[in-house]
Structure formats: structure tokens, C-alpha cells
Chains A and B, each alone.
Chain A
Amino acid sequence: MYPENFRYTKEHEWVLVEGDTGTIGITNHAQEELGDIVYVDLPKMGARLEPGKSLGSVESVKAVSDVYSPVAGEVTAVNDLLADAPEKLNEDPHGAAWLVKVKLAAPGEVQSLMTAAEYQTYVGAEK
């Protein structure tokens, strides 16, 4: 369910590190809790993200939720797919519906985040 090569936050974001690029998304657990997603608000190219700070929001029929950046970095790509097809976030949260890519300020900082196994235990306990 949760890819082994991602790292995870307690706020249900994931980050995939490849070199100095980080790809950020929300987890399957997050999309399940939110339900039908209708809007995704993302930062602009070049925006500077700070760990634990809001990078944007995801809005479902039920509620609006902030998305918090797992890492520090500068936004180098924004997933345009989600502007027209926010429901993709319900369908493929770990794949096609990534949110942003960033140039990581400190690629090593993800070591402090949860592994897939740890996150699986975490959401298991939360339920």
C-alpha cells in the first residue's frame, strides 16, 4: 500500500527523494479520510517551502485541509493535472496525483520522517 521508497509525515504527506529533488503528495489514508476531493490549491513555481508549514490546501465535499510541506525547498514543478481533475487525488495519491516537486535544501532531512512500515503502524493505530 505505502511505497517503501517514500517517507511520511504525521500529517499524512509523503515525499520521495531522488537526488536533490523531492516529490511531495498526500497519502492514501489522507485521501480516504477527506473523501471526494473537489479543489487542490498548490503553490506557485519558485515558492519556498518550509517543513511543517502549509504549502497549499486540499478541499473535499466535507472540509478544507491544509497540506504541510515535509521538507525545505524551492518549488520546481506543480502538478497541473489537479487543477482540472482534483478527483485524481482520490484515485492515485501515490502516483499521478503528486502535488509538487521541490529542489531540496537539505536532502538528508527526510531521515527524520517515518518509513513506510512506521507510517503503516501509525495510521493503523490512529484508526
Chain B
Amino acid sequence: MVDFGGWDMPVQYSGIIDEHNAVRARVGLFDVSHMGEIEIRGPQAAQLADFVTTNHVGKLQVGQAHYSGLLYEHGGFVDDILVHKVAADRFFLCVNASNQDKDFEHIRAHNRFDAEVENAGARYAQLAIQGPKALATLQKLTATDLPAIKYYWFQDGEVSGTPARIAHTGYTGEDGYEIYVPPAEAPRIWNQVMQAGAEFGIQPAGLGARNTLRLEAKMALYGHEIDASISPLEAGLGWIVKFDKGEFVGREALLKQKQAGVRRKLAGFEMRGRGIGRDGYEVLLDGSPAGWVTSGSPSPTLNKNIGLCYLPAAQAVPGKAIQIMIRNQPVDAVTVETPFYKRAK
């Protein structure tokens, strides 16, 4: 167990590679109760949500969710989040554990609308059931018709007799569900899911496998690919920025950046030499410092050492020879197409 923002978190159970492969091939169960939840309610809840996030909340239908950014005025990330539209006047945000209080204060500080903001983390535990057998596993425990919930939609129902928000979302690049349940019921539901998934070879999976899975799928991790100094345009997340929706926090800065062109961009790489380019390691282009690694790991699915790094925008294209400084030695790598892994539909 490691201390993770005040939470005792399992990094691994049977081993990162084993858990990773279980999620890709069968099904894995993650306890992600550390994730924060914030609710925005009231007649102008949608206006507030649209004002503090980059994606277009006005386009969401009830029961639909999307990935989005909370930005500072200067265009850097406060956090990356999921926004769920529960009702016309009610939105449910899933945020990063270590950012929860900061996010809550940020949203409240921008609340010049007829809306209330609640830091609701204590009311929810979250379990993620991920992998090709996630649907078959979870369906045994709920009357909710899971195939009717499209990707990035959700429904409020019951899991194992307990009220649950069942979202067809995930952070693994695999099909799966994230369920939000009352914390007191979470241990029992964990056991129920493990039993339901036993026939499919379910395995508990920890933070370590969650990291290798999301990296293969090129999903950003706050504090690595994104932080207060990085904009969505640099992080390859331009698709969550809807300039057309009107005013939002960070819009002016992003518009300027878009017009001028971003200076640096996120790129994927594969190691060619021996070693793993890890978070914070320097990246060289033609022998000169040119960027830094944001995440790096062995890829259990591809059996290669992969990673993400920031490079000058013009160089952040596949096929560039780069070097990564690994314990004072330059080691060869090459930029590649991302995502590294995409599941077959």
C-alpha cells in the first residue's frame, strides 16, 4: 500500500503485468474511491458548468457524460474531469483525488450564477470494472440494461441491491464501467463483483496497472501530461476545447495560443536502446535538450518500453529520432503514432 494524497492505495495485487493483462484479456476490478466528486446544482448549473469547463456542457443530454478541462485564466489545467449531466439542473463531476479541494474552490470562486456547488467526495466510493468481460460481470449484479448504456453515457440504478450510478466510462483503453456507490456499501459490492467475475477470471487491479493501461491508451494523468503550466492544446486535447460555445475560463489565453501556434506538443515514443524513459527525464534532439518525459513504462501489451514526452511542436511528429537521458546516459528512442494501444471494436 502507498500513501496517495492521504489515501492508502493498492499499487499492485498479483503484479502489475499480470493485472494489466487480465484487464486487456478478461476483466479487472479497481478501487478508485480516492477519486473526488463535485456536484453543481440549480437553475443555472449548466451555465456555471459551461463557464468553468472547456467542453460544451450545453450539448450534453441527460444521462450523458464527457471528458473536459478545468482551466486557469492563463490556459493551464486546474484539473481534467468527467462531467455527467444528471438532470437539466444537476451535474456530477468526477475529479482527481489530489485536486478535489482545489477544484471545488476554483469552481466556487467563479460561481456568479444561480447555482450551488457541493464537494461531494465523502458521499461516493468508486469501483471501476474494466475489460472485455466487464459487461458480463456487472450485468449479473444489476437489473439495469447495460448494453443500452452507450459509451460515455450513464444511468442511475442499483448494483447488488444498492443505489449506484453506473457509467460506461473508464481509464484503461478497454471497455468497462465505473460505478459510484455509497462508501459504506463499497466493500460488500467489491466482493460481489469479484464473485460475479470469478467465472471470467476477474482479478483485482491496482494503481500500477491503471497507470500502464491508461498510458498505452494515451490518456492524460494530472501531474504528468497536464498541470497548471500545460494547456489542452499542447497536451493534444484540443478536442475538449469548444471555442464556439461562448465565454469560459481560459478561453482568451487558448485563443491566443491557437492563433500564435503552440510551442510544444505531447508526443509518444518507443525506446530503441536499453532502458525506460521515465517521468521527468530529459529528451534530446540532435544532442541538445528539447523536452521532457511525462510518463514512461514497459508496455505489457506491446512488450516495448513506451512513453510520452513534450517536444517543440514541429518535432512532435512520428518518426523522429530522439534520445532520453537515463541516469546520465543518452539512450536512443523514436517518436511514434499514438495511442500505443487501441482496442478492437
- B205 in the interface (beta carbon within 8 A): no
Q: In residues 298-345 of chain B, which contact A (Cβ within 8 Å)?
A: 298, 300, 327
Q: Is B212 a contact of A61 with CB atoms below 8 Å?
A: yes
Q: Is A36 a contact of B278 with CB atoms below 8 Å?
A: no
Main SS at interface, chain B: loop
CB distance from B213 to the nearest CB of A (A): 12
Known A-B contacts A35-B16, A35-B208, A36-B17; the reply to A62 vs B11 at CB < 8 A is yes
- B15 in the interface (beta carbon within 8 A): yes
Interchain CA distance A64-B208 in the complex, whole Å: 14
**Within 8 Å CB of A60, what residues of B?**
16
Main SS at interface, chain A: strand
- A2 in the interface (beta carbon within 8 A): no
Binary interface encoding of chain A residues 74-102 relative to chain B, with 1 for a CB under 8 A from any of its CBs, else 0:
00000000000000000000000000000
Interchain CA distance A36-B208 in the complex, whole Å: 11
Q: In residues 215-238 of chain B, which contact A (Cβ within 8 Å)?
A: none
Nearest to B326 among chain A residues (CB) is A64
Nearest to A61 among chain B residues (CB) is B16
Q: In residues 38-73 of chain A, which contact B (Cβ within 8 Å)?
A: 38-39, 57, 59-64
Known A-B contacts A39-B274, A39-B275; the reply to A57 vs B11 at CB < 8 A is no
- B44 in the interface (beta carbon within 8 A): no
Interchain residue pairs with CB less than 8 A apart (12): A35-B11, A35-B15, A35-B16, A36-B18, A39-B275, A59-B276, A61-B297, A61-B298, A62-B11, A62-B208, A64-B276, A64-B327
